[in-house]
Amino acid sequence: MISLGCAKNLVDAEIMLGSVLQRGMEITSRPEDADVLVVNTCAFIDSAKEESIEAILEAHQQRGLNRRPDQKLIVSGCMSQRFAKELRQEMPEVDAFIGLDEVKELGAVVERVLANGHGDLAFADSRPTYIPDYDTPRFRLTPAHFAYVKIAEGCNHPCSFCVIPQMRGKHRSRTPQSVVAEIHGLVSEGALEINLISQDTTYYGMDLWPMKAGPRQPVDSTHGPTLAALLREIQQIEGEFWVRLLYTHPAHWSDELIETIAQCDKVARYIDIPLQHIDDSVLRRMRRETSRSHIENLIYKLRAGIPGLMLRTTFIVGFPGETDAEFAELLDFIRCARFERLGIFKYSHEEGSRAAKMPGQIPAKIKSARYRAAMSVQQAIAHEIARQKIGTELKLLVDQPHVARSEGDAPDVDAHVVLSKGAPVGEFIWRRITGTRGYDLLA
């Protein structure tokens, strides 16, 4: 299997492979030995779609190189969900396309493909409704010491640049009991880091309330399940481990959630909160359900309420109609806010999104220039923050004998700590920071 895209897609890949094993099949790392190749695609932005198409074509070519004309090719994931009908016409070499509701059924699809020479198009016209449970078979693709736990699926936000709700359906939360049971199992197996993921982790549980929540509605556990209540339950699980929050949305943070994180020592002092922009006019066009004043107040409350917090965010540059003044406002905000971790996306024109129809589409050259300018500002900030760590002692999680991560570094997206003296993989250690190398620390 080739799995592309985000951690949410990775969990889908783990579930698909779990269903294959449940059917008594084997997984091989040697493509030439496989009876079936699977490409789990991403369709978040243009570059992701291009990468997915290249991976499909390479997998098809691999069959010829392997001299395995009987080898089958299955395509899954977001691009398959979104464009399966079109892809079936344009890529007849693919034996089956499956949608997101069918991830748990890959084993059965493989059996049909091998038996019939092709598979049914396991794709529904309606939006997906599937959500995994704690006992859903999974074949973990992460190292033993960390894991991703999908606490919800889908999204209810109306962001004008995004088509994820069209691909993944409405937000639907797992029960707290299901999530806690899965984490219990992972910790008992030796996981030291649990990364909670969904399209919007701060919306967790609100779809289970008797009355559903709206943007910036006060959120507390008196209404029903919340992320804060879930974190308090996870805190009670025995063992030493980190719980990391990824993909939070600024519209649904609450005082209770901030207090809970501050009180729970197992919750990493790390918040991933994509803001996308800061100019009010751009935020309205993006339909972000928030404002500059709300964002600034939230950042103040987060940093004041959670000592030692490290914030990660992402911004979009080149959104339709973004003026030089609006971009300059974003740059000034980045300089003032001094985020510990920050990423920049160049706006991607997504067919079917509201923003795709907006006037004032920005030329690629300008988007690239703004990307470079924003990253240059952040690079200076990140390097200064890194230098301030020199001489301090940090708790680290070892990913490789000479590579570790701090509490402020999520896997695959953030910086590393390079160890001069090796350490056992998959263990916590304490080390003194001695220097920096680009974004990375030396210890």
Residue-level pLDDT at 31: 87
CA torsion sign for 416, 250, 14, 42 is negative
Specify if 140 maps to a domain.
no
Do 204 and 320 fall within a single domain?
Answer: yes
CATH code at position 399? 2.40.50.140
Specify if 193 maps to a domain.
yes
pLDDT at 220 over 70: no
Q: Of 75, 95, 116, which residue is a domain's last? A: 116
Which residues does 34 contact at the CB level (< 8 Å), separation at least 6?
28, 71
Do 383 and 397 fall within a single domain?
Answer: no
Do 198 and 288 fall within a single domain?
Answer: yes
CATH code at position 160? 3.80.30.20
CATH code at position 66? 3.40.50.12160
**Percent of the chain beyond pLDDT 70?**
95
Residue-level pLDDT at 89: 87
Specify if 296 maps to a domain.
yes
Do 350 and 220 fall within a single domain?
Answer: yes
CB 269 within 8 A of CB 341: no
Instruction: State mean pLDDT over 358-363.
Output: 97
Do 82 and 199 fall within a single domain?
Answer: no
Specify if 270 maps to a domain.
yes
Indicate the pLDDT class of residue 121, thresholds 50, 70 and 90: low
Specify if 362 maps to a domain.
yes
> What is the domain range of residue 10?
2-116
Regarding predicted confidence, which is higher, 30 or 152?
Answer: 152
Give SS3 for 39: strand
Do 165 and 304 fall within a single domain?
Answer: yes
Do 409 and 368 fall within a single domain?
Answer: no
In DSSP terms, which residues pair with 410 in a beta bridge? none
Residue-level pLDDT at 211: 62
Q: Of 356, 371, 387, which residue is a domain's last? A: 387
Residue-level pLDDT at 83: 87
Specify if 159 maps to a domain.
yes
Do 415 and 379 fall within a single domain?
Answer: no
Indicate the pLDDT class of residue 127, thresholds 50, 70 and 90: confident
pLDDT at 219 over 70: no
pTM confidence score: 0.93
Q: Which residues of 374-412 are buried (b: 16+ CB within 10 A; e: fewer)?
A: bbebbeebbeebbeebeeeebebbbbeeebbbbbbbbbe
**Percent of the chain beyond pLDDT 90?**
84
Do 239 and 337 fall within a single domain?
Answer: yes
Map tokens 């959670």 to a residue. Answer: 306
Do 408 and 373 fall within a single domain?
Answer: no
Q: Of 74, 94, 116, which residue is a domain's last? A: 116
Indicate the pLDDT class of residue 438, thresholds 50, 70 and 90: very high
Do 158 and 42 fall within a single domain?
Answer: no
Q: What is the pLDDT of residues 332-350, one digit of tens each?
A: 999 999 999 999 999 999 9
- For the chain, the average pLDDT equals 93
Can you tell me the distance from the alpha carbon of 205 to that of 231, in angstroms, rounded to the nearest whole number? Answer: 12
pLDDT at 117 over 80: no
Residue-level pLDDT at 65: 75
Q: What is the pLDDT of residues 200-210, one digit of tens each?
A: 999 999 999 87
E strands, 42-192, in order:
72-77, 96-97, 146-150, 152-153, 172-173
Specify if 156 maps to a domain.
yes
Residue-level pLDDT at 125: 55
Indicate the pLDDT class of residue 221, thresholds 50, 70 and 90: low
Specify if 130 maps to a domain.
no
Do 272 and 161 fall within a single domain?
Answer: yes
CA distances from 203 to 153, 199, 225, 247, 323 (A): 10, 9, 10, 10, 32
Residue-level pLDDT at 47: 85
Q: What is the pLDDT of residues 55-70, one digit of tens each?
A: 999 998 888 776 777 8
Regarding predicted confidence, which is higher, 116 or 329?
Answer: 329
Instruction: State mean pLDDT over 36-64.
Output: 89
Q: How many domains does the chain have?
A: 3
Angle at 169 between CA 164 and CA 174, to 5 degrees: 110
pLDDT at 126 over 70: no
Angle at 120 between CA 70 and CA 73, to 5 degrees: 35
Q: What is the pLDDT of residues 384-422, one digit of tens each?
A: 999 999 999 999 999 999 999 999 999 999 999 999 999
